[in-house]
Structure 1
Amino acid sequence: MVKSAPPENTNRKPSKLEGLKERSNFLREPVATEILEDTTHFSEEAIQILKFHGSYQQDNRDNRVRGQEKDYQMMLRTRNPGGFVPPQLYLALDNLSNEYGNHTMRITTRQGFQLHGILKKNLKSSIAAIVKNMGSTLGACGDLNRNVMAPAAPYKNKPEYQYAVEYADKIADLLTPQTGAYYEIWLDGEKAISAEESPEVKAARQRNGTGTVFHDNPEEPIYGTHYMPRKFKISVTVPGDNSIDLYTQDLSLVVITDENSELLGFNVFSGGGLGRTHNKEETFARKADEICYVSKEDVYELVKAIVATQRDYGDRSQRRHARLKYLINDWGVEKFRSQVEEYFGKSLEPFRELPEFKYQDYLGWNEQGDGKLFLGISIENGRVKDEGSFQLKTALRKIVEQFNLDVRLTANHNLVFCDIEPDKKAAIEEILQKHGINSDPDKIEPLVRYAMACPALPTCGLAIAESERVIPGILDRIRTLLNQVGLQKEHFVVRMTGCPNGCARPYMAEMGFVGSAPDAYQLWLGGSPNQTRLALPYMERLHQNDLETQLEPMFVYFKESKETEESFGDFCNRVGFDAIREYAAKYETKKVAPGVSDDADGLVETMADSTTAAVTEESDRQVVAIDNTTTAKKLRHRVTVKDDVYSKLKEASESQGKPMTDMVNEAIKAYLEAE
């Protein structure tokens, strides 16, 4: 007898959003009605359903005026399994960002693109253009499986990497919503031509007998009427490659091959997730657990079993407790395995031994393994834009147009060009250099290379503090401080978010900044360089003006007590926060910062209430210029420079490998001495 899926958990009153999903007619309403209305924005109910279609409604907080309507705009997110973007789609997105968006594209930390600034009246045209150019936004947001991640390196001589990409695609297909709502609303019912779905995936979606599928729900056989309790994140990677932050996923699969590189199956991790809420101790970041091994023949059934367990037993009453990580934390791993086995229909096999995972970013020129090359381009905070002499957006478009290259996006919001003929390398380098783009990762400031920040203000409705707009200045100040205390060669993973939801994964960083108030952040320390260990909260509220005061003692302690080759995150984890706080309490800040004389005080305007390296109302840039340090109080003096000067300063800083602060100090000092 075929076992049907059990009724969804109704022990407690479901949240309001559960009712919205039930009444939506499989994600149709009220979006289908409101997209036809001549208004500037959607209703709150439509906003929630719209997420399943890949869009968030936002407003530009920089443009808010009391008594006037908000500056409503839509953020549109693409679904790109494994980060794959064909040239046709890349050019379509670039066009849309100019025609309807804010003239930038942003690479997400889940290997997709986001377009910002799209008006409601242009949303349908934008989504239709994406779909007609081999793309999709379906399932990029909402309570279902999000973009499936995989390493972006296009190795052709390493079969395990090809398996990872193949199964990322197939699992994404398996868990794609089946409702016709998406094509009905955005393409008037016309289903665009797309790659043929694998027959094994089609069969797996319908196959049941253990309760993973709803037989009476052909429109959504896996998700059912209510979809998932919350978002669900999956990655597929290879042993040793943690380029996709595997411990942060609801479900991660690790490719297992035999001695002939033939695929055998997958190791399975489950229960990772980073979103939390300030002052709500019941919410927390959590690493994924080792669950089992599954053969390749059974991998789809195992994925369905884990999805069904979360679907049917995840918390649908309290959304901040609805992720799979809380179910596993509440149940324990053994109970979770037992329930998964019921849906799987047989016992789970033991997890297999794996090598240590390492973080990789695949920047620079690399051998692809088939005689061709691939090129990883570092994109600061994932923002593809033109700014001054730094013409990144123009350069990338020219390369795609001229050489028709496939693109893969990385989980560290960088970009990889694939399948480059060796004789095209010089021409590509010429385009990059002409537009001010550096392709050599060794010439990138390491703090910048390994950092990530979320968009935050002004568009994200959840942002409490700045992130993308201030992290360049924060990193510059950290580099200056490291240089001053004699740690010129040190670097570590810094990540910043404007709120505790963790989109830039700060809780796995060696140093994480999590917005807790305007211009203030929780400080998290102790994650590992390879993102295999959770950081812990060190300070509840660090105002950005106090950055040097708080970090200087721990950097000096690190310099004095670090072990050979020990990273900053490993050091913090080893010595513990009590030891760091004890050292800081006894630490006496140097009276004068290295290279700055006592009479430097007052040379520049104090701007203590401003945001470092953020755009001011006059579109100027603020650059930390002088450290004036006393034992009683540490002040940060800042000077304001025009945008064009800032762009040139940043370009010179990157090309010379020197912090902007040092260059400003040298220029001011030389000017004053000349006087």
Structure 2
Amino acid sequence: MVKSAPPPIVSRKPSKVEGIKENSNFLREPVATQILEDTTHFSEDAIQILKFHGSYQQDNRDNRVKGQEKDYQFMLRTKNPGGFVPPQLYLALDKLADEYGNHTLRATTRQGFQLHGILKKNLKTAIATIIKNLGSTLGACGDINRNVMAPPVPFKNRSDYQYAWEYAQNIADLLSPQTGAYYEIWLDGEKAISGEENPEVKAARQRNDNGTVIHDTEEPLYGTHYMPRKFKVCVTVPGDNSIDLYSQDLTLVVNTNNQGQLEGFNIFAGGGLGRTHNKEETFARLADPICYVAKEDVYDLVKAIVATQRDYGDRTDRRHARLKYLINDWGVDKFRAKVEEYFGKPVAPFQPLPEFKYEDFLGWHEQGDGKLFLGISVDNGRVKDEGSFQLKTALREIVEQFNLPIRLTPHQNLIFCDIEPDNKQAIQAILDRCGVVSDPGKIEPLVRYAMACPALPTCGLAITESERAIPGILELIRTVLDKVGLQDEHFVVRMTGCPNGCARPYMAELGFVGSAPESYQVWLGGSPDQTRLAQPYIERLHHNDIESFLEPIFVYFKKTRKSGEGFGDFCDRVGFDAIREFVAQYQPEPATVTIEPEPLTVATKSRRARYRVSLHDDLYNKVKATAASQGKSMTDLVKEALESYFQNLP
């Protein structure tokens, strides 16, 4: 049997995980044996194989008690190419979250859903339920091709978007594991009912092109060792960067002719964000333009790139195993040449593309076929009911009543598709009753464009808080912006509890990366369209020092920005030396409170004026504390105080 191990590296042994994969009998063991055991958790070897099946073993650190067994639970992740979630699957996930999970769903940054809090004894039932309701978790985690992303917006009158969805699904099928282990373990060998596979995809998988296929194995593309590390793919259209294309191992950009017919794809490769603190040999990296490929050759080229990483990716050091390191070490030219060997012929040169922009597609829109779509903002992807905010209830009612499909977005939001215009009012009524905002203009911009990973208490890699911390961090940022007179300013803020970068902080204008308990590494200078890598500005910042840290930087931004220049572009233009020089000489300005007049009538269509009042720090802090204790805004408190003062004047 030909194995998928890379050429031997002198005096270096493969990592332990490589042996676990080789001995797993194509992802069967030891999971198949241990799922039958009456225990609360799996062994370390089984944990590695369980990831391929779409689950991570975790424990709730909030519930750790010295001397007692950990509170073991499991996270399940679905694989939804292009973020597509049929209504039947959504309702099944919603029910599973209540019956076996922690009563929430979480939309991921790769357009899937995660279920948290599942116990080992319920894991098989949960996965089987997902499979039987048109879903899958296979390959959502592990050293394999992960969920294939595509723009979530359902423009039915745009052929390029139609092609992006089609090829996202086809490439997901092409790179899907072929082992029978998944159905043997979770459905007792029963093959799930699924759509008919595209004949071109099936033929491409079986075609032996210059070493891309491994013979006499259950896994013709992966072999016994699968990939050296995870492999991430997306398909998009020219100009649409809703999927963070530069952060992917492999990106395909649809190319159509003037009649809207598919001609081929531009190819990027080598992006990736995961890194390790204090390990300079690990780093975030943007994808490089590689080549152009005609549509009839696209599957063979994808196979060639996968085979190159499969056979030459580093299997000795998992920190150095992603495709980005292979391309960084080899250079693009050598990588392209090796891909051409597997491809069997020279590749075509990369074709010009327009500038890429980010858009989140929130709110009500026409989708081009007479129907509507609705993008709903989901803070950090967490679908839950909390007090008067009943997002989980609202989504369930809408899906139940109107049988609507969903597309998850790479920004952890969701889009309801195919809405009949006559149903708009009824859907809006449900959202209003449940306290869900559908008008993006009413969402605080800092919140709208922010992202955070789950981190504590369940993620085993988390160093500090992220999802639970970001609301307070955004409030601090807004306070500083208000203080320095930048009330209308906003930018992309992203936060992770560790350096693995699941919320893609290295592409943000302001990124926080967990570096110690209650502390973060701060990255500055990314693009608002996520087309430029940010850079680390400070290695460790305690969350109590965020306001004093940001104030001089924001003041410098206000004083020296160019007209219309955003915060990330400013930091990139002036450079960190200039920012540090200004910070070193900065003297805090008096704090300010913004006072607004009464709203103008809609008929004026004018923007409300804003006036600033300067206060010394001690008085500002007293106003801030008093407003907080009384549950009021600082502006309202100052207005009340001034009105009382003037009423008492002689």
TM-score by length of 2: 0.93
Residue 26 of structure 2 corresponds to: 26
Residue 460 of structure 1 corresponds to: 459
Question: Can you give the 5+ residue segments of structure 1 that lack an aligned partner in the other structure?
Answer: 597-626, 650-659
Q: Distance in 2 between matches of 1:661 and 1:339?
A: 61
Residue 592 of structure 2 corresponds to: 594
Residue 284 of structure 2 corresponds to: 285
Deviation, structure 1 residue 334: 0.2
Structure 1 pair 501–6 and aligned structure 2 pair: CA distance change class (3 A): closer
**Partner SS, residue 492 of structure 1:** coil
Deviation, structure 1 residue 228: 0.2
Q: Distance in 2 between matches of 1:209 and 1:436?
A: 55
**Partner SS, residue 47 of structure 1:** helix
Residue 110 of structure 2 corresponds to: 110
TM-score by length of 1: 0.89
- Structure 1 residues 54-111: Cα deviation after superposition (integer angstroms, max 9, x where no partner): 0000000000011111100000000000000000000000000000000000000000
**8 Å CA contact retained: 2:4, 2:225:** no
Q: Where do 1:558-577 residues align within 5 Å?
A: 558-577=557-576
Question: Can you give the 5+ residue segments of structure 2 that lack an aligned partner in the other structure?
Answer: 595-614
Residue 64 of structure 2 corresponds to: 64
Is 1:376 equivalent to 2:375 in the alignment?
yes
**Partner SS, residue 252 of structure 2:** strand
Q: Distance in 1 between matches of 2:211 and 2:226?
A: 15
Q: Where do 1:244-643 residues align within 5 Å?
A: 244-590=243-589, 592-595=590-593, 629=617
Q: Distance in 1 between matches of 2:441 and 2:359?
A: 14
Deviation, structure 1 residue 10: 2.3
When structure 1 is superposed on structure 2, of 7-16 and 336-345 the one drifting more is 7-16
**Partner SS, residue 176 of structure 2:** coil
Deviation, structure 1 residue 479: 0.9
Q: Which amino acid aligns with 1:196?
A: E
Deviation, structure 1 residue 663: 7.0
Q: Distance in 2 between matches of 1:641 and 1:575?
A: 37
Q: Distance in 2 between matches of 1:672 and 1:32?
A: 73
Deviation, structure 1 residue 30: 0.3
Q: Distance in 1 between matches of 2:60 and 2:507?
A: 29
Residue 132 of structure 1 corresponds to: 132
**8 Å CA contact retained: 1:524, 1:539:** yes
Q: Distance in 1 between matches of 2:318 and 2:641?
A: 56
**8 Å CA contact retained: 2:363, 2:438:** yes
Is 1:238 equivalent to 2:237 in the alignment?
yes
Structure 1 pair 138–672 and aligned structure 2 pair: CA distance change class (3 A): farther
Q: Where do 1:43-192 residues align within 5 Å?
A: 43-192=43-192
Q: Which amino acid aligns with 2:247?
A: T
**8 Å CA contact retained: 1:91, 1:397:** yes
Q: Distance in 2 between matches of 1:143 and 1:668?
A: 60
Q: Which runs of 4+ in 1 moved over 3 A?
A: 4-7, 627-631, 634-642, 660-674
Deviation, structure 1 residue 295: 0.5
Deviation, structure 1 residue 236: 0.1
Q: Which amino acid aligns with 2:431?
A: L
Q: Distance in 2 between matches of 1:400 and 1:640?
A: 41
Q: Distance in 2 between matches of 1:663 and 1:164?
A: 48
**Partner SS, residue 101 of structure 1:** coil
Q: Distance in 1 between matches of 2:27 and 2:636?
A: 54
Q: Distance in 2 between matches of 1:45 and 1:426?
A: 53
**Partner SS, residue 33 of structure 1:** helix
- Structure 1 residues 575-598: Cα deviation after superposition (integer angstroms, max 9, x where no partner): 0000000001111113x52249xx
Deviation, structure 1 residue 480: 1.5
Q: Which amino acid aligns with 1:498?
A: G
Structure 1 pair 66–205 and aligned structure 2 pair: CA distance change class (3 A): same
Deviation, structure 1 residue 53: 0.1
Deviation, structure 1 residue 393: 0.2
**Partner SS, residue 164 of structure 1:** helix
When structure 1 is superposed on structure 2, of 10-19 and 48-57 the one drifting more is 10-19
Q: Distance in 2 between matches of 1:665 and 1:54?
A: 51
When structure 1 is superposed on structure 2, of 386-395 and 662-671 the one drifting more is 662-671
Residue 209 of structure 2 corresponds to: 209
Q: Which amino acid aligns with 1:241?
A: D
Residue 616 of structure 1 corresponds to: none
Deviation, structure 1 residue 671: 13
**8 Å CA contact retained: 2:272, 2:286:** yes
Alignment equivalent of 2:8, drawn from 7, 10, 17: 10
**Partner SS, residue 511 of structure 2:** strand
When structure 1 is superposed on structure 2, of 397-406 and 476-485 the one drifting more is 476-485
- Structure 1 residues 224-271: Cα deviation after superposition (integer angstroms, max 9, x where no partner): 000000000000000000000000000000000001000000000000
**8 Å CA contact retained: 2:5, 2:225:** no
**8 Å CA contact retained: 2:508, 2:526:** yes
**8 Å CA contact retained: 1:54, 1:77:** yes
Deviation, structure 1 residue 9: 2.6
Deviation, structure 1 residue 216: 2.0
**Partner SS, residue 48 of structure 2:** helix
**8 Å CA contact retained: 1:5, 1:211:** no
Q: Which amino acid aligns with 1:22?
A: E
**Partner SS, residue 165 of structure 1:** helix
Structure 1 pair 453–667 and aligned structure 2 pair: CA distance change class (3 A): farther
The size of the alignment, in residue pairs, is 625
Deviation, structure 1 residue 640: 12
**Partner SS, residue 213 of structure 1:** coil
Residue 598 of structure 2 corresponds to: none
Q: Distance in 1 between matches of 2:269 and 2:549?
A: 36
Q: Distance in 1 between matches of 2:245 and 2:643?
A: 51
**Partner SS, residue 594 of structure 1:** strand
- Structure 1 residues 322-378: Cα deviation after superposition (integer angstroms, max 9, x where no partner): 000000000000000000000000001000000000001010001100000000000
- Structure 1 residues 391-445: Cα deviation after superposition (integer angstroms, max 9, x where no partner): 0000000000000000000000000000001111100000000000110001100
Q: Distance in 2 between matches of 1:44 and 1:377?
A: 39
Q: Which amino acid aligns with 1:128?
A: A
Q: Distance in 2 between matches of 1:316 and 1:635?
A: 58
Q: Distance in 2 between matches of 1:266 and 1:585?
A: 49
Deviation, structure 1 residue 215: 1.4
Structure 1 pair 377–639 and aligned structure 2 pair: CA distance change class (3 A): farther
Structure 1 pair 192–485 and aligned structure 2 pair: CA distance change class (3 A): same
Q: Which amino acid aligns with 1:143?
A: D
Q: Which amino acid aligns with 2:591?
A: A
Structure 1 pair 122–531 and aligned structure 2 pair: CA distance change class (3 A): same
**Partner SS, residue 576 of structure 1:** helix
Q: Which amino acid aligns with 1:205?
A: R
- Structure 1 residues 641-663: Cα deviation after superposition (integer angstroms, max 9, x where no partner): 99xx9xxx7xxxxxxxxxx8647
Q: Which amino acid aligns with 1:253?
A: L
Deviation, structure 1 residue 7: 5.4
**8 Å CA contact retained: 1:223, 1:311:** yes
Q: Distance in 1 between matches of 2:314 and 2:174?
A: 23
**8 Å CA contact retained: 1:164, 1:238:** yes
Q: Which amino acid aligns with 1:519?
A: E
Structure 1 pair 663–397 and aligned structure 2 pair: CA distance change class (3 A): farther
Residue 607 of structure 1 corresponds to: none
**8 Å CA contact retained: 1:462, 1:499:** yes
CA RMSD, 1 decimal: 2.4
Q: Distance in 2 between matches of 1:10 and 1:629?
A: 64
Deviation, structure 1 residue 668: 10
Deviation, structure 1 residue 305: 0.3
- Structure 1 residues 264-309: Cα deviation after superposition (integer angstroms, max 9, x where no partner): 0000000000000000000000000000000000000000000000
**Partner SS, residue 592 of structure 2:** coil
Q: Which amino acid aligns with 1:594?
A: T
Deviation, structure 1 residue 489: 1.1
Q: Distance in 1 between matches of 2:204 and 2:62?
A: 48
**8 Å CA contact retained: 1:5, 1:212:** no
Q: Where do 1:639-654 residues align within 5 Å?
A: none
Q: Distance in 2 between matches of 1:661 and 1:316?
A: 56
Q: Which amino acid aligns with 2:479?
A: T
Is 1:196 equivalent to 2:203 in the alignment?
no
Q: Which amino acid aligns with 1:361?
A: D
